[in-house]
C-alpha cells in the first residue's frame, strides 16, 4: 500500500490515551501517552499506521515530512467561540479601565448589544468573510476544529444569517466547525420588558435550524440582567425536547446556580463557571457535564476570581479549555495563549492542559469518538510544532509555535503562510 503522507523523525508524539475513551476526569486528566522517535503514515485523510522511525524508511508514500525531532500532537480543538460577528469594540477598553462593569456596559445598550447592531447591518457575505479571516488565524494557531455560537442577531433574520454563514464556512474552510444556536445571548432592546416573549420567538427558530441542519447545540447566557435560572431552564428544556444537545453560559459573573442547572438538564457542557458553587461542582462531577473553562475571559475582564479548576479536577469533573473568542470579553483567537493562562491562573498541569484542549474538547462538542487523539483509523488532524517537547507550548507564552497544520491528512498551514487581508477590510 502506498500512503498519501508520512511524518517521520517525530521527537515526541502525543497520541493522547485513546484506549481510555473519555472525557477524561480526575487523575486520568494528568496522564499523557507520549511516544518517542516515531513515524506516522496517513491514507485517505486518516491515520493508517504508527511505527518506529527506523521502519518508516520502508513505507512507500507520495509525500514525506521530516519532523526534525519535533513535537507532533492532535490538532487543537476550541469548544467555545463566538466566531461570527461584525465590527469590533476597542472603545470599551477605556470604560473597563474606569471600572465600568461588563454587565453595566451591556445594560447601557453597549457590549453585546453594540455588536448586535453591527451584525444586523452586515450581509451574510460580509459575516462569512470576516469569520473566515478569524478562522484562518485560528488555523494558524493549530486549531483544526472549533465550535461557533450565534447570538449577535437576537432576531430571526440575523440569527439565521449567522448560522448560515457558519454552515458555508464549514463547507469551504479547512477548519471544521460545530455550530451552536445562542439566540438567547442577551435581551434585545425591542423586548426589554418581555424576555419570555423574546425567548419564545427564539424557540420558534428551532424547527428551521433543525431542517436546514444549522446547529447541533443550543446555549443560553444565564446571568444577572440577562436570563434567569427559571427562564434558562424553561428555554433549554424545550430545546432538549426538540432533540438539541445543551450548553449553558453558567455562573460567568454572578453565582446563580448555572452549574446545578446544567447538571439537572444533562447538558453536554457548562461554560465559564467562575462563580460555580461547591455543590454545583459536585453535581457537574456526578452528572458528567464537562466544565468548559475560559481563563482568557477572566484575564481580559480583570476579575479577581477565577474558575476553581483545581477544585473541579479534585472532585472528578472533566475539564476543557476554550478561547471564548468574541469581540467583547475575550478578543483572541490564540488557544496556545489560553493554555498558558490555564497553567498560571488555574495551576493546571501541562498534561491536564493538553488533555483539555484535545480529548476533552472533542467530547465537549460531541466529537469524542473521532477527534482529539492520534490513533489508527482516526481522522488525521495534526500539528507539527516548532518545539521539541509538549511542555514548551504553554511555557513560552503569547507567541505562535505552530510549524505545520494537517487537517484530514492535508497540509493546510505552514509557518510563514500569511493572510493577504487586513483586519480593517471588514465592516
Residues that bind ligand NIG (CB under 6 A): 82, 111-112, 115, 221, 249, 252, 297, 324, 326-329
180 or 329: CB nearest ligand NIG: 329
16 or 330: CB nearest ligand NIG: 330
Cα 337–Cα 307–Cα 326 angle in degrees, nearest 5:
50
As measured in angstroms, the least distance from the Cβ of 402 to ligand NIG is: 25
Chosen from Fe ion, ligand NIG, none, partner binding at 111 (C-beta under 5 to 8 Å by type): ligand NIG
As measured in angstroms, the least distance from the Cβ of 302 to ligand NIG is: 13
As measured in angstroms, the least distance from the Cβ of 135 to ligand NIG is: 18
Q: Which three cell numbers stand for residue 132?
A: 473566515
Task: Give the integer Cα–Cα distance in Å for 135 and 120.
Answer: 21
Chosen from Fe ion, ligand NIG, none, partner binding at 115 (C-beta under 5 to 8 Å by type): ligand NIG
As measured in angstroms, the least distance from the Cβ of 98 to ligand NIG is: 17
Neighbours of 327 (CB within 10 A): 22
Chosen from ligand NIG, Fe ion, none, partner binding at 252 (C-beta under 5 to 8 Å by type): ligand NIG
Q: What is the CA radius of gyration of the chain?
A: 21
306 or 401: CB nearest Fe ion: 306
Task: Give the integer Cα–Cα distance in Å for 295 and 330.
Answer: 9
**Three-state secondary-structure class, residue 172:** helix
Footprint on this chain of Fe ion (rule: CB under 5 A): 324
On whether the CB atoms of residues 118 and 86 are closer than 8 A, the answer is: yes
As measured in angstroms, the least distance from the Cβ of 190 to ligand NIG is: 19
89 or 282: CB nearest ligand NIG: 89
Beta-bridge partner residues of 34: 14
Chosen from ligand NIG, Fe ion, none, partner binding at 87 (C-beta under 5 to 8 Å by type): none
65 or 262: CB nearest ligand NIG: 262
The residue sitting closest to Fe ion, measured at its beta carbon, is 324
As measured in angstroms, the least distance from the Cβ of 42 to ligand NIG is: 36
263 or 326: CB nearest ligand NIG: 326
As measured in angstroms, the least distance from the Cβ of 193 to Fe ion is: 25
Burial 119-136 (b: 16+ CB within 10 A, else e): bbebebebbbbbbbbbbb
Instruction: Choose among 136, 59, 56, 43: nearest CA to 417.
Output: 136
147 or 352: CB nearest ligand NIG: 147
The residue sitting closest to ligand NIG, measured at its beta carbon, is 328
**Three-state secondary-structure class, residue 413:** strand
Chosen from Fe ion, ligand NIG, none, partner binding at 180 (C-beta under 5 to 8 Å by type): none
**Three-state secondary-structure class, residue 127:** helix
Task: Give the integer Cα–Cα distance in Å for 237 and 361.
Answer: 24
Instruction: Choose among 329, 327, 337: nearest CA to 302.
Output: 329
Amino acid at each position: 500500500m502506498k500512503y498519501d503522507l508520512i511524518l517521520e523523525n517525530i521527537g515526541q508524539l502525543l497520541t493522547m490515551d485513546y484506549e481510555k475513551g473519555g472525557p477524561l476526569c480526575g487523575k486520568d486528566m494528568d496522564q499523557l501517552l507520549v511516544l518517542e522517535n516515531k513515524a506516522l503514515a496517513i491514507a485517505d485523510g486518516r491515520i493508517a499506521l504508527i511505527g518506529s522511525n527506523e521502519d518508516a524508511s520502508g513505507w512507500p508514500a507520495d509525500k514525506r515530512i521530516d519532523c526534525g525531532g519535533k513535537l507532533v500532537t492532535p490538532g487543537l480543538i476550541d469548544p467555545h467561540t463566538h466566531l461570527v460577528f461584525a465590527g469590533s469594540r476597542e472603545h470599551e477598553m477605556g470604560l473597563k479601565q474606569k471600572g465600568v462593569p461588563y454587565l453595566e456596559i451591556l445594560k447601557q445598550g453597549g457590549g453585546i448589544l453594540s455588536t448586535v447592531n453591527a451584525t444586523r447591518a452586515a450581509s451574510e457575505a460580509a459575516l462569512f468573510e470576516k469569520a473566515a479571516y478569524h478562522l484562518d488565524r485560528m488555523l494558524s494557531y493549530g486549531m483544526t476544529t472549533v465550535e461557533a455560537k450565534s447570538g449577535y442577531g437576537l432576531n430571526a433574520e440575523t440569527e439565521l444569517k449567522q448560522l448560515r454563514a457558519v454552515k458555508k464556512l464549514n463547507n469551504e474552510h479547512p477548519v471544521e466547525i460545530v455550530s451552536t444556536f445562542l439566540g438567547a445571548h442577551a435581551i434585545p432592546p425591542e423586548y426589554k420588558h418581555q424576555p419570555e416573549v423574546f425567548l419564545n420567538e427564539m424557540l420558534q427558530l428551532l424547527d428551521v435550524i433543525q431542517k436546514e441542519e444549522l446547529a447541533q447545540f443550543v446555549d443560553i447566557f444565564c446571568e444577572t440582567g440577562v436570563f434567569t435560572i427559571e427562564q434558562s431552564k424553561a428555554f433549554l428544556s424545550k430545546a432538549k425536547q426538540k432533540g438539541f444537545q445543551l450548553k449553558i453560559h453558567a455562573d460567568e459573573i454572578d453565582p446563580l446556580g448555572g452549574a446545578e442547572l446544567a447538571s439537572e438538564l444533562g447538558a453536554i457542557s457548562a461554560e465559564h463557571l467562575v462563580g460555580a458553587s461547591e455543590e454545583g461542582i459536585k453535581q457537574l462531577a456526578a452528572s458528567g457535564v464537562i466544565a468548559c473553562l475560559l481563563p482568557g475571559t477572566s484575564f481580559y475582564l480583570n476579575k479577581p476570581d477565577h474558575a476553581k479548576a483545581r477544585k473541579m479536577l479534585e472532585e472528578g469533573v472533566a475539564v476543557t479549555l476554550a478561547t471564548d473568542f468574541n469581540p467583547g470579553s475575550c478578543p483572541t483567537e490564540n488557544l496556545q495563549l489560553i493554555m498558558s493562562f490555564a497553567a498560571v491562573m488555574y495551576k493546571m498541569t501541562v498534561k491536564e492542559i493538553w488533555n483539555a484542549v484535545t480529548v476533552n474538547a472533542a467530547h465537549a462538542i460531541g466529537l469524542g469518538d473521532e477527534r482529539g487523539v492520534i490513533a489508527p483509523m482516526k481522522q488525521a488532524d495534526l500539528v507539527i510544532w516548532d518545539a521539541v517537547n509538549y511542555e514548551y507550548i504553554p511555557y513560552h507564552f503569547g507567541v505562535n509555535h505552530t510549524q505545520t497544520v494537517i487537517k484530514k491528512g492535508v497540509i493546510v498551514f505552514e509557518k510563514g503562510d500569511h493572510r493577504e487581508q487586513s483586519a480593517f477590510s471588514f465592516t
